[in-house]
Amino acid sequence: MTRPITLFTGQWADLPFEEVCRLASGWGYDGLELACWGDHFDPWAAVEDDSYVPAKLEMLEKHDLQVFAISNHLKGQAVCDDPIDERHRGILPDKIWGDGDAEGVRQRAAEEMKMTARAARKLGVDVVVGFTGSSIWKYVAMFPPASQDLVDAGYQDFADRWNPILDVFDSEGVKFAHEVHPSEIAYDYWTTVDALEAIGHREAFGLNWDPSHFVWQDLDPVGFLWDFKDRIYHVDCKDAKKQVGNGRNGRMGSHLAWADPRRGWDFVSTGHGDVPWEASFRMLNTIGYDGPISVEWEDAGMDRLVGAPEALEFVRRLAFDAPSAAFDAAFSTQS
């Protein structure tokens, strides 16, 4: 059950696709998790231009790389977000932003997510990773008081906007793996329960497990795998380091930039933080996850050209296969 180890290209989208292929292949990665921005993968071109996907596959093959998933976090974020503002202008292309009218942005983002499902099928992959956005993340502090009706309306808004998208995923035989992440409709354990309930537990909607977002919220990433084992459609390896305990650094980050030592936590390269990686990989074996292990490299205090190959070495060492037989089977006197 040796799982392929891939590199998520989202943090490398400033580099040409061919250069990322060259780097990842040289380091020894098995494949790429392609981001739908930069020049790495364009869902519209994949569907509308018959030469586009073959050219991407040819480039991957040239560098002995495979692709198991594509990711469209940035457009997915805009599907449910409220407000839509200058933050979104910074991450969305003109085609989605348009005139900036909020509802127009949401509708165009939804159309791209549908197109992403079609593009995934043309590429030959079964999983799209991404965000959902959320109209109720703004209520996370619960002051001014947010009524239960307001919160319930947010889950209904999510279901109303994502069910038509998931209909296309169903028709294409592709699954959406939502990354449980602050600012999304599902950002911790109980919001994941509520989001799955809101969507009717439909099979097209599952989870991308990224433990870095659990660490700083004091959640158990290993127990999460067990409880949602039937919904783990993809795995991203990213790490986080807590820096609380001095009476000054808080969980919320204090509006401080990444790598500022006054932050209560920070993203760090895989293996340098507080994620219980060995227990996590053992649990992935236990639940029978045999998909890719994708390194999502983020560390504002380390050069990525150092971090990405080091992370690969770390994951290869710990992401061992489950045994083919129980160790105590050797004690049996039965043939």
Give residue 333's pLDDT.
67
Give residue 321's pLDDT.
83
Q: Is the pLDDT of residue 44 over 90?
A: yes
Q: Give per-residue pLDDT as tens, 299-313.
A: 999 999 999 999 999
Average pLDDT in the 31-57 region?
98
Q: What separation in angstroms does the CA of 70 have from each of 86, 192, 224?
A: 26, 22, 23
Give residue 327's pLDDT.
66
The answer to whether 290 and 280 are in contact (CB under 8 A) is no
> How long a stretch of residues is the chain?
335
Q: Is the pLDDT of residue 214 over 70?
A: yes
pLDDT cut 70: percent of the chain above it: 97
Q: Is the pLDDT of residue 22 over 60?
A: yes
Average pLDDT in the 165-186 region?
98
Q: Give per-residue pLDDT as tens, 112-137.
A: 999 999 999 999 999 999 999 999 99
The answer to whether 132 and 191 are in contact (CB under 8 A) is no
The answer to whether 267 and 274 are in contact (CB under 8 A) is no
Give residue 324's pLDDT.
76
**In angstroms, rounded to a whole number, what is the distance separating the alpha carbons of residues 182 and 172?**
29
The answer to whether 227 and 196 are in contact (CB under 8 A) is no
The answer to whether 296 and 236 are in contact (CB under 8 A) is yes
What is the CATH superfamily name and number for domain 5-331? Answer: Divalent-metal-dependent TIM barrel enzymes (3.20.20.150)
pLDDT band, residue 103 (cuts 50/70/90): very high
Give residue 1's pLDDT.
47
- C-alpha torsion 221→227→233→236, nearest 10: 0
Mean per-residue pLDDT of the chain = 96
Q: Is the pLDDT of residue 329 over 70?
A: no
Give residue 320's pLDDT.
84
SS percent in the chain: helix, strand, coil, step 5: 45, 15, 40
Average pLDDT in the 272-294 region?
97
pLDDT band, residue 330 (cuts 50/70/90): low
pLDDT cut 90: percent of the chain above it: 94
The answer to whether 218 and 250 are in contact (CB under 8 A) is no
Q: Is the pLDDT of residue 190 over 70?
A: yes
Average pLDDT in the 147-158 region?
98
Average pLDDT in the 197-209 region?
98
pLDDT band, residue 335 (cuts 50/70/90): low
Q: Is the pLDDT of residue 326 over 80?
A: no
